[in-house]
Structure 1
Amino acid sequence: MTATRADALWNRKLVLRAAAQLFAAEGLEVPLGRIAQRAGVGAGTVYRHFPSKAILVEAVFAQHLDDLVSAADRWTARSTPGDALFGFLFEVIEKCAQGKHLCDALVADRSWPHATFAAAARRFGEALDRLLHKAKHAGAVDANLRVDDLNALIAGGATLHSAHPSPDRGTRLVWQLLDSVRRIGVTKDSRLRDDERPESCAECGSPLRVKNTGRPARYCSPACRQRARRRRLVS
């Protein structure tokens, strides 16, 4: 790859990143001049890559979905099927809550999807379907669960997460929402055995880092452990 080509690709990446940040923070009315300024490039560079605002918005949406497809692959590689599906769903919900303007615009604009976004949306749907299929095969979710059910769950979870005044409690509620479709085995002993390691923090609901040895962790951080201890002392 020539240096000129590499510079062009880098500039395009800078513009997409700047546009995504500004759209998420301020909405889609941000002028291209401000996007160029945030990216550290000239306005001409923006127009060379994205001849119109609509093309830039579509490219940001498509990049957002492609990043999520990559996240789905990472979850598949590092987790069990059930953990991969629910960890991915939480990541999607969290990012949608952070980029509410993007998600709202996507739902509200009936002219979408265009060709570029349609291809990215198809890749996202296929990645979600793969995770769901593996989770069903592992018995982690109900066999009747469908991808459109998960899309509705994502939309509802993002609204719940962004609407709650407490980020920690919003996170916990999202995990409770996701747990509503999780198939959990029932055991006679309610105490946690070594082979029944919890998947989420007992205080805030965040995913726990899996350890193969030692006592299973119940909290994701010392802060959550301390909050739980204070709650027990008060109750």
Structure 2
Amino acid sequence: MTTAMAGDRADARRNRAKVLAAAADAMAEQGLDVPLGEIARRAGVGAGTVYRHFPSKQALLEAVFARHLEDLVASGERLAARCAPTEAFFGFLLDIVELSSRRGHICDVVVADTSWPRPGLTAARLRFRQVLAALLQAAQRAGGVRADVAPEDVAALAAGCVSMLGARRDRPAGLKLVRLTLDGLRPSASVTEGRSFRDSPDVRCEECGSALTVRPTGRPVRYCGATCRQRAHRRRLAG
């Protein structure tokens, strides 16, 4: 390979990276309808350069989302190398939520449209899931995350947190809610175990004192059955 050819390829890589960065910022600010000419202007390249790398808006969207996932993978790998397992796992989730909330338009359209071939996006999503699963399993082995949580549970919870943060104008308040939500993954959180999910009052039969099951709708339960109801009725008549 000649020096000129190597230089041309290096320029092409730099231009592609500029277009991806400009597209991500422009779409986050202006939505998915931002013209490719505006993206080219932000990137400091000609429109022909954009079309040479990305022949359609769909191809550009896919590449932007794949790049986003690759950035998250790199973040997860750094955290795994530098932090304790539990700290790395929750740090990764916060990175997912904070970074993805700024790319909501792109994430929504790429995830929703299953008709795209997107081989590059498929590979990026697979790598992302692998890193997420590895961090989750390490945190579970360390005792920092509930054992009954699967990678798909974490992915769904993170997606919900992205939507929640994106809907809040007060970002610090939104991040507080995100942290409270993610705390439900810790072993001490038992809100999904049995009847403790609802803080129901201790309701008992007015006649015999037996514990009653509280119904979510309808009239409040007062007696455990027909026998106690009749006894109470007879006492009221006698009184």
Distance of 1:167 and 1:69 partners within structure 2: 24
**Which residue number in structure 2 is paired with residue 99 of structure 1?**
103
- 1:160 matches 2:155: no
**Which residue number in structure 2 is paired with residue 27 of structure 1?**
31
The structural deviation recorded for 1:112 is 4.7
Equivalent residues in 2 for 1:81-92, closer than 5 Å: 81-92=85-96
Check the 8 A contact 1:140/1:184 in 2, yes or no: no
**Which residue number in structure 2 is paired with residue 108 of structure 1?**
112
- 1:178 matches 2:182: yes
Check the 8 A contact 1:97/1:162 in 2, yes or no: yes
The structural deviation recorded for 1:26 is 1.6
Higher mean C-alpha deviation, range 172-181 or range 112-121: 112-121
The structural deviation recorded for 1:103 is 2.1
Distance of 1:145 and 1:106 partners within structure 2: 26
2:76 to 65, 72, 77: 72
The unaligned stretches of length 5 or more in structure 1 are 186-235
Higher mean C-alpha deviation, range 122-131 or range 19-28: 19-28
**Which residue number in structure 2 is paired with residue 39 of structure 1?**
43
The secondary structure found in structure 1 opposite 2:133 is helix
Distance of 2:107 and 2:83 partners within structure 1: 27
Check the 8 A contact 2:100/2:162 in 1, yes or no: yes
Distance of 2:175 and 2:157 partners within structure 1: 14
Distance of 2:142 and 2:12 partners within structure 1: 45
- TM-score after normalising by structure 2: 0.74
Give, as a single letter, the amino acid of the residue that structure 2 aligns with 1:57.
Answer: L
The structural deviation recorded for 1:126 is 0.5
- Alignment: residue pair count: 185
Give % identity.
Answer: 49
The secondary structure found in structure 2 opposite 1:70 is helix
The structural deviation recorded for 1:111 is 2.2
Equivalent residues in 2 for 1:188-227, closer than 5 Å: none
Question: Runs (4+) of structure 1 moved beyond 3 Å?
Answer: none
Check the 8 A contact 2:101/2:165 in 1, yes or no: yes
The structural deviation recorded for 1:184 is 4.7
The structural deviation recorded for 1:32 is 1.2
- TM-score after normalising by structure 1: 0.75
The unaligned stretches of length 5 or more in structure 2 are 190-239
- 1:131 matches 2:135: yes
The secondary structure found in structure 2 opposite 1:99 is helix
Q: RMSD over aligned Cα, in angstroms?
A: 1.6
